[in-house]
Structure 1
Amino acid sequence: MLQTPAPSDIVDTEHLSRLTTTAPREYVHRAALAEVFLTAEWSRTDEAHFTLSAQWPRTHAFFAPLGRTHYDPMMAAETIRQVGALLAHAGFGVPLGHQFLMWELNYRVVPGALSVGETPADLRLDVYCSDIRRRGGRLTGLAYEVVISENGRTLATGDARYTCTSPEVYRRLRADRLDAPPTASAPPTAPVEPRTVGRVDDFDVVLTPAGRPDRWRLRVDTRHPVLFDHPGDHIPGMVLLEAARQAVHSLAPEGQVVMPTAMDSTFHRYAEFGSPCVIGTEPAVNYPGSSERLVRVIGRQDGELLFTAITAVTALPTRN
């Protein structure tokens, strides 16, 4: 005999439909659910305009709060990267398994708006897509702009551009690298002193000394669970952005906590495993009247330009 369920056993399906869940990890090209910043809430206004949601945790295993008070701007960069992947799959029908090549990723944050609050930051992302490229009805490339806000207050803006290709085409392009995956057991090179690049642990350092205060080698440790969230045939772009951030931080006065408030990054080719990558810094032209310092970070591999990142850096603001 069936019993009538008690009131506490009745499921409020209308309420459940409004509960927040993360976006599918496959849609943002992450293996760990903990590394997914986007939620499953998104809508489309028209062909080119989307509204998405995201959440930044109050702390993170790698993107820890700067000075324990402000969100790491690199979380904005990673959020913008994830937006492009989700739009491709959920908005433009790109099948899972397709490969993406990021050509540009830029961000700018509002330092005073990045204070960590008493709860995680629930964010609204307004996205505008441009330069939508298709071949045979399938997306092959996209450029997009993102405005990240919380309760109507803008925290960050950014934009990115990428191309995507089918597994078959990618295999033809990268067959030699796919058939010879990186050796995970290869020991990483020696790290610089963590505190000089804004880190606490050797494990999180991506720079190796190269005998000059403005030159380093990229330090690659595929065991890192955030930077190398899943196996791949090349070094992820976010590792290069972290190298740029750490290089710029090393130029700050000792003991000063600095914030990378903006970064304009261009990727020129794949960063390959097994070949040294040289990271260097040089002054860039500052904005007139700006308190930020601009530094150009350049990465080279096998004598060729790998990436450039013009980074604006300023002292950590006072918590408001």
Structure 2
Amino acid sequence: MSSFQTLPTTGPIPVSRQLVHKSAAGEVLLDRYERRGADTFSVTAQWPRAHCFYDVVAGRHDPLLVAETARQCVPLLSHLGYGAPADHSQIWENLTWSVEPDALVADSAPAEIRLDVRCQDVVRRGDRLAALSMSVILRRDGALLGSATTRFTNHPASVIARLRGPYRMVLSSDLPATGLPAPLPAGHVGRDRPRDVVLSPGDTPRTFGLRVDGRHPVLFDHTTDHVPGMLLVEAARQATQAVAFPDAALITGMAIEYHRYVELDRPCLIEAEVLLAQAPTHVSTRVCAVQDGEVAFTALVTAQRSPAVGPPAHSY
């Protein structure tokens, strides 16, 4: 069992794919890490001009890159900041994020992002990290891009094995390659390829099935025994667009609670409800993931109709 460096450093450390729990180097958004204080850190990130999943649409970077950038900070800070060994895993309890739409406008170069990260309410069990809260401020060219807060727990492999029990035997890589439910029309959920649609039609206009493609190269970058948290974030985005702005929606924030794991091999319903419509251009929704009659995930989502700000970037 290996550990990552946790001592204060004299300069930035490059971020490897192992530090953010990614298999593909091209999925790593974070670039450099530097400790600023006991619980404060500076991280740089780069958002690509085009991405096979989180692509530029209507002239703007995908706002869910804020959530994914914050997610990558979770393992990074656990390992480098607080000494979690390489085989420890983190479990999300909550994630709240928001973005400034004007700061998402894409240009001809990748977006260079600076993250100021502060951790607090750190809990240890003996000499190991058990939990912490993290707040992230994202800036682009000195201007506020967005923010995120999250709390997560950290566990060694032996604890995860006990928590998961028999569910550890069902792996995403073993899911059938065919037989997924038919997707919603891709254009109604902001996608241009059926493979990227994570919802199938349900019994009502505001109820959907969760489509789990264990071979999706981004949502399942590596093998796992449960539905990834970012797949549920994407489901909340797509459900909001389907019930609010099927033509064009820009998600501006989410307040998410992860209540329990969503299992890979059983049906999961995604329920979306419009809570507040402000004029014809802004909306708030509540999205839930329900499995075996229990709510596993909730998200309060804010969105607005998305006008184009320029020609869309090339999509793969």
**TM over 0.5: same fold?**
yes
Indicate whether 1:222 and 2:229 are aligned: no
Structure 2 CA distance for partners of 1:23 and 1:102, relative to 1, 3 Å: same
- Partner of residue 183, structure 2: 191
Q: Distance in 2 between matches of 1:218 and 1:247?
A: 10
Q: Distance in 1 between matches of 2:129 and 2:78?
A: 8
RMSD: 2.1
Please list the CA deviations of residues 236-260 of structure 1 after superposition, one character each: whole Å capped at 9, or x if unmatched: 0000010000001112345x32100
> How many Å apart are 1:318 and its aligned residue?
5.3
SS in 2 for 1:105: strand
Indicate whether 1:272 and 2:263 are aligned: yes
Please list the CA deviations of residues 122-143 of structure 1 after superposition, one character each: whole Å capped at 9, or x if unmatched: 1110011111111112111111
Indicate whether 1:169 and 2:159 are aligned: yes
> How many Å apart are 1:42 and its aligned residue?
1.9
> How many Å apart are 1:179 and its aligned residue?
3.0
The residue correspondences of 1:1-320 to structure 2 (distance < 5 A) are 23-39=15-31, 41-67=32-58, 69-182=59-172, 183-185=174-176, 187-254=179-246, 256-285=247-276, 292-317=282-307, 319=309
Q: Distance in 2 between matches of 1:253 and 1:180?
A: 36
**Cα pair 1:122 1:150 within 8 Å, conserved:** yes
Structure 1 unpaired stretches of 5+: 1-17
SS in 2 for 1:72: coil
> How many Å apart are 1:22 and its aligned residue?
5.6
**Cα pair 1:112 1:319 within 8 Å, conserved:** no
- Partner of residue 15, structure 1: none
Higher relative contact order (CA 8 A, sep 6+): 2
Structure 2 unpaired stretches of 5+: 1-10, 311-316
> How many Å apart are 1:104 and its aligned residue?
0.8
Paired amino acid for 1:49: T
- Partner of residue 8, structure 1: none
Identity in percent: 39
Q: Distance in 1 between matches of 2:248 and 2:42?
A: 34
Q: Stretches of 4+ moved more than 4 A in 1?
A: none
Q: Distance in 2 between matches of 1:144 and 1:126?
A: 10
**Cα pair 1:215 1:278 within 8 Å, conserved:** yes
> How many Å apart are 1:302 and its aligned residue?
0.4
Please list the CA deviations of residues 39-82 of structure 1 after superposition, one character each: whole Å capped at 9, or x if unmatched: 1x222221211111000001110011121x00111111000000
**Cα pair 2:198 2:235 within 8 Å, conserved:** yes
Paired amino acid for 2:154: C
> How many Å apart are 1:262 and its aligned residue?
0.5
Please list the CA deviations of residues 202-248 of structure 1 after superposition, one character each: whole Å capped at 9, or x if unmatched: 10000011121100010001110000101011010000010000001
> How many Å apart are 1:273 and its aligned residue?
1.0
SS in 2 for 1:250: helix
Paired amino acid for 1:179: M
Q: Distance in 2 between matches of 1:157 and 1:209?
A: 33
**Cα pair 1:134 1:140 within 8 Å, conserved:** yes
- Partner of residue 5, structure 1: none
Higher Rg of the two aligned structures: 1
TM-score (norm 1): 0.89
Paired amino acid for 1:106: T
SS in 1 for 2:202: strand
**Cα pair 2:255 2:301 within 8 Å, conserved:** yes
> How many Å apart are 1:188 and its aligned residue?
1.7
**Cα pair 2:170 2:264 within 8 Å, conserved:** no
SS in 1 for 2:203: strand
Q: Distance in 1 between matches of 2:196 and 2:146?
A: 25
Aligned residues: 299
Q: Distance in 1 between matches of 2:212 and 2:48?
A: 26
Structure 2 CA distance for partners of 1:45 and 1:21, relative to 1, 3 Å: closer
Paired amino acid for 1:178: R
Paired amino acid for 2:211: R
